[in-house]
Amino acid sequence: MKTKAAIIYKAGDPDAFRYKNIELRPPGKDELLIKHTAIGVNYLDTYYRSGLYPVDFPVIVGDEGVGIVEQTGKNVTEFNVGDRIAYPASKCGGYAERRLITASEVVPAPSSIPDEIIAASLLRGMTVEYLVQRLYQIKEGDTILVHAAAGGVGLILCQWAKYLGATVIGTVSSEAKADIAEKHGCDHPIIYTEMDFVEELKTFTNGQLVDVVYDGVGKKTFMKSLDCLRPRGLMVSFGNASGKPEPFDVLELAKKGSLFLTRPTLFEYAHKRSELLAGAKSYFELLEKNVIQVRPGKVFKLSEANKAHQYLENRDKIGAPVLIPD
Ligand code: NDP
């Protein structure tokens, strides 16, 4: 069977995508053939595209999508033809009209939640699920710092952490983003382009600093994030929006107060089928209860994957882009 896909032959800028027909084999015994109704676009895809994360070319990036099952492999019992499904962490293959996917990577998509909301947020929402419930269990009385608090992950993180009882401090680059973060659970947005976020955080916490820093910005914020943590606080470096953090001296963790540092990925936290299903369930429940509200960004045709990447990497955007097959 032929299907359309956005393929990258060589690492490069967003114009590296080529939109082409590819041949798909029938599903293997544990696989599904799915037809996408919406496809998520994430920073991870840009890391593969740009060469920051090594990958074999040619590659079809895309780890997240929503679609309908068209064929099932002979061992698949959990899903049937016609089922509406979603996946958050498939390690590439997503930027295509149809794809094959191992059934164990897929979760049922609740009928109450539209395709575009799921595609814009399942990977980010499940990331937040493990960040606030499993990597660290946020509890009443915690104070946390969230970088890029008005970003895709940031807005979900602020809402979920607030729901669990934390005081949430966030960094944002503009007044407009501060306003949005505040409306989504951020108690104290700091416009870091106008003031030093470490000094402002010290003032706001009366010098007590924070229990956890969630840093998806990376290179630009990493070292200063360590200065925001109380002794024995936890530094969660979970992304590289500004580039990957520079290598650093581990003794800094001792000097700054016996700090903990982790560099987690959703793949690890959703690796077991039971964890994938439970994480998705937790996130979908909070969406359905309206505890978490998601604003999808702009919708692009699959043939415009280049524009979707430009949009994602543009600092002014609010809401994550989504691709829809042409
Ligand atoms: P965002 O919507 O948060 O966009 C990134 C934000 O980072 C920007 O809006 C901007 O906010 C801030 N930023 C600061 N410096 C830069 C820079 N130089 N270039 C671009 N942005 C910058 O993206 P996502 O929600 O999609 O992802 C956030 C992070 O989470 C990414 O690093 C991603 O890789 C990571 N991630 C990690 C996962 C994991 O399991 N480890 C899973 C999912 C995502 P501002 O203008 O306010 O500074």
Structure confidence by residue, pLDDT tens digits, 87-100: 999 989 999 999 99
pLDDT of residue 165: 98
Q: Which pLDDT belongs to residue 55?
A: 96
| Whether residue 210 is found in the same domain as residue 296 | no
The answer to whether residue 63 is domain-embedded is: yes
Q: How far is CA 72 from CA 28, 33, 69, 106, 109, in A?
A: 8, 6, 7, 12, 17
Average pLDDT taken over every residue of the chain: 97
Whether residues 87 and 171 fall in one domain? no
pLDDT band of 132, cuts 50, 70, 90: very high
Q: How far apart are alpha carbons 192 and 22 in whole angstroms?
A: 46
**Would you say residue 277 lies in a domain?**
no
| Whether residues 94 and 146 fall in one domain | no
| Residue 280 belongs to a domain | no
- Choosing from 43, 156, 298 the residue with most ligand 1 atoms within 8 A of its CB, the one to mutate for a pocket test is 43
Pair 92, 157 in one domain: no
How many domains does the chain contain in total? 2
pTM beyond 0.85: yes
Given a contact cutoff of 8 angstroms between Cβ atoms, the answer to whether 203 and 181 are in contact is: no
**Over residues 191-208, mean pLDDT:** 98
Residues 300 and 259 in one domain: no
Are 147 and 247 in the same domain?
yes
For the CA of 320, the nearest atom of ligand 1: 2
147 and 204, same domain (yes or no)? yes
Write the CATH number for 216: 3.40.50.720
**Residue numbers of the domain that contains 229:** 140-264
Residue 122's pLDDT band, with cuts at 50, 70 and 90, is very high
What pLDDT is attached to residue 317? 85
Q: Is the CB of 197 under 6 A from ligand 1?
A: no
| Distance in angstroms (rounded) separating the CA atoms of residues 223 and 209 | 15
For residue 13, the model assigns a pLDDT of 97
Mean pLDDT of 22-28: 97
Q: Does residue 43's CB lie within 6 angstroms of at least one atom of ligand 1?
A: yes
Whether residue 181 is found in the same domain as residue 293: no
Q: Is 295 a residue whose pLDDT tops 90?
A: no
pLDDT band of residue 296 (cuts 50, 70, 90) is: confident
Summarised one tens digit per residue, pLDDT across range 47-67 is 999 999 999 999 999 999 999
Give me the percent of the chain exceeding a pLDDT of 90. 97
Residue 318 has pLDDT above 90, yes or no: no
145 plus 115 within the same structural domain: no
Q: Is the CB of 245 under 6 A from ligand 1?
A: no
Candidate from 13, 41, 42, 87 with most ligand 1 atoms within 8 A of CB, to mutate: 42
Q: For residue 134, is it within any domain?
A: no
Q: Are residues 77 and 9 in the same domain?
A: yes
Q: Is there a single domain that holds both residue 233 and residue 145? A: yes
Q: Which atom of ligand 1 is nearest to the CA of 264?
A: 41
What is the number of residues in the chain?
326
Count the neighbouring beta carbons within 10 Å of the beta carbon of residue 86: 25
- Is residue 105 within 8 A of residue 276, CB to CB? The reply is yes
Does residue 44 have its Cβ closer than 6 Å to ligand 1?
yes
> 252-275 pLDDT, tens per residue?
999 999 999 999 999 999 999 999
My answer on whether 302 and 254 are in the same domain is no
Q: Residue 106 belongs to a domain with what CATH number?
A: 3.90.180.10
Cα separation, 88 vs 271, whole angstroms: 11
| Residue 28 lies inside a defined structural domain of this protein | yes
